[in-house]
């Protein structure tokens, strides 16, 4: 453990027909899985470039560990997790970090690599004075949650993958009389509209940024043109 803060990226093994299916169309099932892999790798790069932060990957399903071992940078911690829902996977991932001695554990989604790095830096600093830090997602969930001790109640009885995730979580925080700071809102790439948005963002971001996402979109565009 090189630092007192770790950010764990909540990752899934990309599978055609099971991954990012809401992007089909315009993508086909194989392209959607490949695009998720690109988003994931650029998210890993986003965190890996932060200073004084250790990088971890929460792997689901656990048997996909070899795939992740081949795409992560040296020193990245792999945390296989199991759970019946997102909440149980978050508990497992954050607990795994805190039990290893990290003072701050932050979970981050794996499909929003255009997130400004400043938001992650803010999350780390804001945790100094509160129990929780949350990054609201524009779809009603959250892209980030961080804490200094595990709080299982925050993740229980939540309607995951709905617009109720953030309101229910904040209600739970209030019920527990815990302090929380919110980051600026950001988006996940889940829908065709999100796909168009990130393609548009890439036109104004530095040319060398998000190399995997750029390559994937370029490849899909070539395939579409050839067809």
Would you call 179 helix, strand, or coil by DSSP? coil
Please calculate the CA angle 170-8-218 and round it to the nearest 5 degrees: 105
Output the six-digit token pair for 21.
């299916």
43-96 pLDDT, tens digit each: 999 999 999 999 999 999 999 999 999 999 999 999 999 999 999 999 999 999
CA 96 to chain centre: 17
Which among 171, 203, 161, 214 is positioned nearest to 38, based on CA atoms?
214
12-42: per-residue pLDDT in tens? Answer: 999 999 999 999 999 999 999 999 999 999 9
Average pLDDT in the chain: 95
Ordered domains of the chain (ranges, CATH): 5-226 (3.90.550.10)
Structure tokens at 157: 């009885």
* Confidence (pTM): 0.96
Q: To the nearest whole percent, how much of the chain has pLDDT over 70?
A: 97
């Amino acid at each position: 453990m090189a630092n007192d803060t770790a950010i764990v990226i909540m990752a899934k093994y990309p599978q055609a027909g099971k991954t990012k299916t809401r992007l089909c169309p315009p993508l086909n099932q194989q392209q959607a899985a490949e695009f998720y892999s690109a988003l994931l790798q650029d998210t890993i790069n986003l965190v890996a470039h932060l200073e004084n932060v250790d990088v971890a990957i929460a792997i689901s399903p656990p048997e996909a560990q070899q795939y992740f071992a081949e795409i992560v940078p040296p020193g990245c911690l792999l945390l296989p997790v199991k759970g019946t829902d997102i909440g149980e996977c978050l508990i497992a991932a954050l607990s795994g970090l805190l039990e290893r001695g990290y003072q701050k554990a932050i979970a981050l989604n794996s499909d929003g690599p255009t997130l400004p790095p400043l938001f992650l830096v803010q999350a780390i600093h804001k945790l100094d004075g509160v129990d929780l830090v949350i990054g609201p997602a524009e779809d009603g969930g959250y892209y980030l949650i961080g804490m200094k001790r595990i709080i299982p109640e925050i993740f229980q009885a939540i309607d995951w993958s709905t617009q109720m995730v953030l309101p229910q979580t904040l209600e739970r925080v209030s019920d527990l009389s815990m302090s929380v700071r919110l980051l600026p809102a950001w988006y996940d790439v889940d829908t065709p509209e999100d796909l168009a948005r990130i393609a548009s963002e890439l036109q104004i971001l530095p040319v060398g940024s998000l190399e995997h996402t750029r390559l994937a979109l370029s490849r899909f565009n070539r395939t579409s043109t050839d067809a």
